[in-house]
Amino acid sequence: MYSTPLPKFATTQEAACPLWAIGPEGLDGLPEDAGTWAKTAGFKAGAGEVCLVPGANGGLGAVLLGLGSAATRNRRRLVTGDLPQRLPAGTYALAGEWARRDAEEAALGWLFGSYRFTRYSEGPAVEAKLVCPEGVEAARLEAIAAGEFLTRDLINTPTSDMGPEALDAAFMALAEEQGAEAAAVRGDDLLNQNFPMIHAVGRASAEAPRLLDMRWGSEGPTLTLVGKGVCFDTGGLNLKPGASMGLMKKDMGGAATVLGLARMIMALGLKLRLRVLVPAVENSVSSNSFRPQDILTSRKGLTVEINNTDAEGRLVLADALTFAGEENPDMIVSFATLTGAARVAVGDDIAPFFTGNAALATALTEAAAEVADPVWQLPFHAPYEPRIQPGIADLDNAPKGGMAGAITAALFLRRFVPEGADYTHFDIYGWQPSAAPGRPKGGVGMGARALLAALPKVLT
């Protein structure tokens, strides 16, 4: 299930090399030998600058990490995140006031930075290890990092090895690993069990569509996570141009994110009853592809006019959300790589979310700042509802006009949960375009850690 060794802290503190993180104003506060060497080496403590300080015996005596100016620091989080792959093999320990003030963030950044996707090319091993700082719960951070690693591995794996069947296998493996129960509805059984839109989107693929269902926990409030599992999106008969198809292996990023989040929840033993639903399909092209102008009838009974077969994610989520709502859980949360409009609105680094739960919105905003997982609330703007109503059917899967695409997609999804349900939707990107501290280029989780931190404040 994992292509990367699970993240672990060093098991011993013996001979750990001190790691200092400082801004330019902190250069004078270094121990004398380190300060002298820093001046000799021309170390200015710029953002991301690293200085290796020799020890008395010819080995490595200390590492200096530059934080840059105060303004730069506000733009950079998880600053230790690229050190595991830049430093020599060995054991390191945070040092100085920074280590006490930002110990948990620095430790998590280190674990995130140790990630390498090794399924197809081993490359150099990451042999730099960090001692977990005093007062930081190592097992908790390791569980969070392992969930993030799972998300990254799933997204990074190309569809040749991560189609609906392989996503199904990864889903079942996670359930077995964590002692959860899992089941699936596959192929034409989707029609027999009334998941018509999941079937319609996925039936053209060589691998049968399916709905994956996991349950864990026996006490506490009920939380259902729903993740878009479109393992590749050609656009269907509204075929994407080649340039737009290049990253479509990540179109199951919503599924990958909820599986990573579910692993965090289960490994941490949160007191809640968790359910995870993933519609796993490939939107492909064949003689039985669904077509523009088709009208599909959903599990809920609402009819949907297909005005673009490339707006397929909301269709498979609609059936899954209806299924989720039939049990009336305390909270439903969906994650999906759903719209380009969300990227235009907030870019690739921020996960926009929609919710009717004001307490959750506040908790998410606060948690996002605390754990360096940026999110931003967008509205379920009811005056836009007419835009998703084409007249010939109950709903339009691709409203014309080109405006408010993320909002109209979220409004579409909300139609498939029970009225008044506590529903939140994340429209994520799931991809890091270029390497940043703690976030190597490639698949990445978005919004999951913010939600993990917010849940105990609102779901009790």
Q: Which residues are catalytic?
A: 240, 314
Q: What are phi and psi of 113, to 5 degrees?
A: -75, -15
Cβ atoms within 10 Å, residue 68: 20
| Nearest residue to 448 (alpha-carbon basis) of 184, 268, 212, 302 | 268
The first and second tokens of residue 95, run together, are 């040092």
The first and second tokens of residue 243, run together, are 């340039």
Type of residue at 265: I
Which residues pair with residue 20 across a beta bridge?
64, 95
Give the number of residues written for the chain. Answer: 460
Cα–Cα distance measured from residue 21 to residue 15, given in angstroms and rounded to the nearest whole number: 19
Distances (CA, A) of 270 to 40, 78, 263, 264, 330: 51, 25, 11, 9, 15
Residue with tokens 């490339």: 310
Residue with tokens 């909301």: 314
Write b or e for each residue in 89-103: b if 16 or more Cβ atoms lie within 10 A of its Cβ, otherwise e. eebbbbbbebbeebb
Cα–Cα distance measured from residue 421 to residue 111, given in angstroms and rounded to the nearest whole number: 37
Cα–Cα distance measured from residue 49 to residue 68, given in angstroms and rounded to the nearest whole number: 8
